[in-house]
Structure 1
Amino acid sequence: MSADYVRRYYGVPARRGGRVEFDGRPGVITSCPGAYVRVRLDGQHRSVPAHPAWRMRYLDSDPATSQAGGGRTP
């Protein structure tokens, strides 16, 4: 699976290197190894797994799609 799968399945603008806010903390998507994304939070060395549509805000995208919720939710 890939970022393309995550984008299509969840209806979010996920992409590797994209800036996000996960659970209120800024970070960057490092990979999309399955039906989730890995996010390296600012100031951290390791990435954490995150659901693409749960507590995730996409910062590098069109304002109309910056909030997750257009696709499936947990």
Structure 2
Amino acid sequence: MSMEWIRKNYRVPAKRGGRVEYTGGKTPEQGVIVGARDGRLRIRLDGMEYTHPLPFHPTYELRYLDAAAPSSREGRD
């Protein structure tokens, strides 16, 4: 499942190179999206000793840091 599939089905602004914050641990951790596989985002967390990206569900405890601010027209349907 591609990044486009994740954006469409989970309605998130995920994109390769996008910055995110994982808030599900003891302290929030930031990282960068490096890809997608099997409906999960592959994220390389900052400051980790390993270089392999970890899989994260697109909506579980993730905050998209460089997402565009919602326009004033959204939510008026």
The residue that corresponds to 1:9 in the other structure is 9
- With normalisation by structure 1, the TM-score equals 0.80
The residue that corresponds to 2:43 in the other structure is 39
More helix by share: 1
Larger Rg, first or second structure (1 or 2):
2
Consecutive unaligned residues of structure 2, counting only runs of 5 or more, are: 71-77
1:2-43 CA distances to partner (integer Å, 9 max, x unpaired)? Answer: 110000000000011100001221000011112110110001
Whole-Å separation in 2 of the counterparts to 1:63 and 1:34: 28
- With normalisation by structure 2, the TM-score equals 0.77
Runs of 4+ with deviation above 2 angstroms: none
Consecutive unaligned residues of structure 1, counting only runs of 5 or more, are: 65-74
Letter in 2 for 1:15: K
Matched, 1:50 2:62: no
Residue 32 of structure 1 aligns to a residue whose secondary structure is strand
Letter in 1 for 2:34: T
Whole-Å separation in 2 of the counterparts to 1:63 and 1:26: 19
Whole-Å separation in 1 of the counterparts to 2:38 and 2:15: 13
